[in-house]
Amino acid sequence: MMNYLKNWNVMRLLRLALGIFAIVQGIQTAQWFLVAMGGIFSIIPLLNIGCSGVSGCTVPISKSSKKVKDIDYEEVR
């Protein structure tokens, strides 16, 4: 569950917000096609589905392996 909550980025939150906004606007104006499209656009970020299926175009999980490599400098004259 923590891994699921950790992988959220700004674009994923924006897609969810736009989907919820489309659902609300569709309900207020009684346009059920807009409600359906808003539902689809809300499910996409919730399930983290991208362009070509499950995890097809997702943002990779950032790895925090901070190995510092010593750099040797040579003086050029």
pLDDT bracket for residue 12 (50, 70, 90): confident
Asked, for residue 36, whether it belongs to a domain, the answer is: yes
The rounded distance, in Å, linking the Cα atoms of 42 and 22 is: 9
Tell me, yes or no, whether 75 lies in a domain: no
Reported pTM? 0.61
Residue 16 lies in a domain: yes
* Residue range of the domain that includes 37: 2-48
Tell me the pLDDT tens digit for each residue of 14-62. 989 999 999 999 999 999 999 999 999 899 888 877 665 555 565 666 6
Distance CA 24, CA 39 (A): 10
In a domain, 24, yes or no: yes
Total domain count, the chain: 1
